Each structure stands twice: as structure tokens, then as C-alpha cells.
Amino acid sequence: MQPSTSPRRDHLEFAAALDRVLARTGGSHVWSPHSVGTVLGLLAAGASGRTLDELEALLGPDTKGQLEALDAAVDTGSDPDLATLNGLYVPADLEVLPDFEARVRGRAGAEVGRADFARDAEGVRSRINGKVADVTRGLIRELLPPGGVRPDLRMLLVNALWVKVVWPDPFDPAQTRARTFHTPDGKRRVPTMHRSARLPHAQARGWSMVSLEGDHELVLDVLLPDGRTTAPPPVSAEVLADLYRERSSQQVELTLPRFRVETDTSLLEPLAAVGVRRMATDEARFDGISPEPLRADEILHQSVLRVDEKGAEGAAATAVMMLRAAFTPTRPVRFTVDRPFVFVLRRRESVLFLGRVTDPVDPGPAA
């Protein structure tokens, strides 16, 4: 079995760093390093000075190469089960520099358009939410909340992602039955799938991993810490890189709960916690985007992922809202998933979704 492509190391470092902040003690969560990484990479393309330094400290210095890898991961080609949006929306009186506009237009699913925030903020909100809902097949219907689009908004940068994974060898629904799962609050019986097959498996640094490969190079990795803890630590880039390096085909008896997990969060505070602070202040430097001084006012993110007998379906969306900044001077292996676990949904060199399940919420049988 030829191992699937592993994500880039700088992308893994970014994903693991932000995940440590986003993980909720005792709770499930999911987010998209691909979606968030895309909008941050575009912001880095238009940033300078310390604003750029902070973004590169999180993303890595090769933001151009990382954006290219993220684009390649959502290159839909003839694949109908993958969709993306990269939208840039500005009022008519904001000058966008040609190089930055070209970077956005060069992305998969690109759209650059005018938005009358001052006179029709609610109309803009409705229109963008509609676009995101279309791309995510209705899984994310309201990325921008009521009142979330202000009349003084100067720029809106949006990324959306939808992916559907089909297992070539699906789980047999007849073998799905209630099994014990050890949640942080105690044991609970949850619908659990079963499959016996040769699968990619790895062990490294106190973790084990099994990979479920779907069509079109899509792969779902399920990670378990070796100790029977109900509070697994955040997974590090080193752990992920070593697990991907140690993969080999093994006969695996896999039991895995069906699950659905979703998260809706603001990212400004988590980003500040990992050192990206300046872009939300009047000291922000985005002079590669526009001659007008801009700063980030809010970054919203939503993600949802469902896994069942037939495959997986995930959606994510991220919106960066920017205001005018005040000018400042320049300065047989048994793999039984019966306790909280971490998951990674990836394609090529990109992590599409990363999260954990501590208490599975059953989405119901595969339709």
C-alpha cells in the first residue's frame, strides 16, 4: 500500500499551535486549518513589518508555498465532492492594490466583488451567507450573525470549504451497534461501527493512529493516546509528523463511533494567544492590500464534520472583517475507539479539518 501524501511540516506546526488554544478541556471541537490558514496566508501576502512577522511566526516563512499547497488540496478538477470559495468584498471607494487582488483571484473558487456596507450592511450579510451556504451544501447557513456586518466595514475576506468523503470499502451498517465509550463524565453507550481490514497504522510518541482512505486522495486519520485517558493532550506537530512517517499496512480490527461535531468561534483571542496580535490594532500594516490603513476587527470561523458508515462530510467557513485603522507612523492491531480521540481530515499537503471527540453525538445511520 502506497502511503498517502503527508501534510507540509509548516502547516502541521500552524495547525497544532492553534489547536492547543482552541481545544476545550473535556469538550469536543473541530476547526479547519485549511480555511483559517488560507485567510491568514492571504493577509500575510498583504502585510508588512511586525504584522507580517507575527503571521509568519505562526504560519512559517514560506506563506506563498503554503498557500499553493492549500490550493492544490482543494483543486476540484472533475471531483463533484469538493467545493471552495475565496471571496474578497470591498466598497467602491476602497482601492485594492492590483497584486493583492490578483492573489485572491488566483485562488480556487475566487470571487472579487463590491459590497455596499454603509447603505446595505444587512443585504451584504445575507448575500455572503447565501454564498457560503451554497458552497457548504447548507451545512453552514449563517457564518455572519445578525449585526455582524457593520456599516463602517472596509473589507470582508471569506473562505468556505465543503468536502464529502466516500469510503471505497464502507462499514457494514449491520455491524454497527451500541458499545461503551469512556467520556470525561463517565461511560456511555454510543452507536459504534466495526470493520476488519488492512489499514494504514502507526505508533509513535505515545500515540496510535489508523487511517481511513477515501476517494480522491482524501484521508481521515483517527488518533488515540496509548494511555486510557479521557482527557487526551493536544496533539503536536512532532507527533503527527512521526505518525505519518511510521505508517504501515496492518490488519486492523477497528471499532469507531459514528459522530458529528461542530464549532462556531471567534479567532481573534486565540490568535492573540499564539502571538498574532498586531493585525487587530491600529499599528497593523496591510499596505500590500490597500493604501488605506486597515486592521482586523473580527475573524469568525465555523466548522462541522460528520462521520458514518458510508464516509464523512465536512464544511468550514472563515470570515475576516476589516476596518479602517487610525494612521500610526511605521515601526492484527486492535484499534478500539472507546474513549476521547483526535481526528484529522486531510487531502494532499493540507489539513482540511482537525478536532477531537470526547462524547460522540450520533448523527444517525448513513442515509
Sheet architecture: strand order including 311-324? 110-114, 82-90, 155-166, 311-324, 294-307, 259-266
Contact 271, 20 (CB under 8 A): no
Q: Is the pLDDT of residue 122 over 90?
A: yes
Digit-coded pLDDT (tens) for 123-143 = 999 999 999 999 999 999 999
Average pLDDT on 43-53 reads 97
Interstrand relation of 177-183 and 186-204 (parallel, antiparallel or unpaired): antiparallel
Q: Are residues 268 and 300 in the same domain?
A: yes
**What was the pLDDT predicted at 110?**
95
Q: Is the pLDDT of residue 55 over 80?
A: yes
The residue that leads in pLDDT, 132 or 336, is: 132
Beta bridge partners of 324: 294
Percent of the chain with pLDDT over 90: 87
Percent of the chain with pLDDT over 70: 97
CATH of the domain at 220: 2.30.39.10
Q: Domain range holding 282? A: 22-165+261-323
Q: How far is CA 35 from CA 147, 148, 159, 176, 208, in A?
A: 23, 20, 6, 32, 27
**CA 103 to CA 204: how far, in whole Å?**
39
Q: Is the pLDDT of residue 329 over 60?
A: no
CA-based radius of gyration for the chain = 21
Average pLDDT on 197-207 reads 95
Q: Is residue 132 part of a domain?
A: yes
Q: Are residues 60 and 153 in the same domain?
A: yes
Nearest to 314 by CA among 365, 264, 354, 359: 354
Q: Is residue 272 part of a domain?
A: yes
Q: Is residue 75 part of a domain?
A: yes
Torsion over CA: 163, 166, 172, 174 (sign): positive
Q: Is the pLDDT of residue 312 over 90?
A: yes
**What was the pLDDT predicted at 275?**
97
**What was the pLDDT predicted at 268?**
96
**What was the pLDDT predicted at 4?**
76
Q: Are residues 269 and 255 in the same domain?
A: no
Q: Is the pLDDT of residue 366 over 90?
A: no
Average pLDDT on 37-65 reads 97
Beta bridge partners of 288: none
**CA 307 to CA 257: how far, in whole Å?**
8
What is the overall mean pLDDT for the chain? 93
Q: Is the pLDDT of residue 327 over 60?
A: no
Q: Is residue 362 part of a domain?
A: no
CATH of the domain at 160: 3.30.497.10
Q: Residue 224, CB half-sphere, CA atoms under 13 Å: how many? A: 20
Q: Is the pLDDT of residue 213 over 60?
A: yes
Q: Is the pLDDT of residue 278 over 60?
A: yes
Q: Are residues 135 and 225 in the same domain?
A: no
Q: Is residue 72 part of a domain?
A: yes
**CA 184 to CA 186: how far, in whole Å?**
6
Q: Are residues 281 and 134 in the same domain?
A: yes
Q: Is the pLDDT of residue 75 over 90?
A: no
Categorise residue 128: left if φ over 0, alpha if ψ from -120 to 50, beta otherwise.
Answer: alpha
- Measure CA of the first residue to CA of the last residue in the chain; give whole Å: 30
Beta bridge partners of 251: 198
Q: Are residues 207 and 344 in the same domain?
A: yes
Helix and strand totals (H; E) in the chain: 8, 15
The least confident of 43-52, 157-166, 201-210, 356-365 is 356-365
Q: Say how many C-beta atoms besides its own lie within 10 A of residue 184's C-beta.
A: 14
Q: Are residues 254 and 267 in the same domain?
A: no
**What was the pLDDT predicted at 300?**
98
Q: Is residue 121 part of a domain?
A: yes
Average pLDDT on 15-32 reads 92
Q: Is the pLDDT of residue 78 over 70?
A: no
Instruction: Tally the domains of the chain.
Output: 2
For residues 194, 196, 199 and 202, what is the CA-based torsion angle, rounded to 10 degrees?
Answer: 70
Average pLDDT on 328-350 reads 81
Query: pLDDT category, 330, cuts 50, 70, 90?
Result: very low
Query: pLDDT category, 301, cuts 50, 70, 90?
Result: very high
Average pLDDT on 31-47 reads 98
Average pLDDT on 56-77 reads 92
**What was the pLDDT predicted at 26?**
80
**What was the pLDDT predicted at 331?**
43
Q: Are residues 283 and 336 in the same domain?
A: no
Q: Is the pLDDT of residue 69 over 90?
A: yes
Q: Is residue 367 part of a domain?
A: no
Q: Are residues 114 and 241 in the same domain?
A: no
Q: Is residue 79 part of a domain?
A: yes
Q: Are residues 160 and 241 in the same domain?
A: no
Q: Are residues 40 and 126 in the same domain?
A: yes
Q: Are residues 287 and 344 in the same domain?
A: no
Average pLDDT on 96-103 reads 97
Q: Say how many C-beta atoms besides its own lie within 10 A of residue 282's C-beta.
A: 13
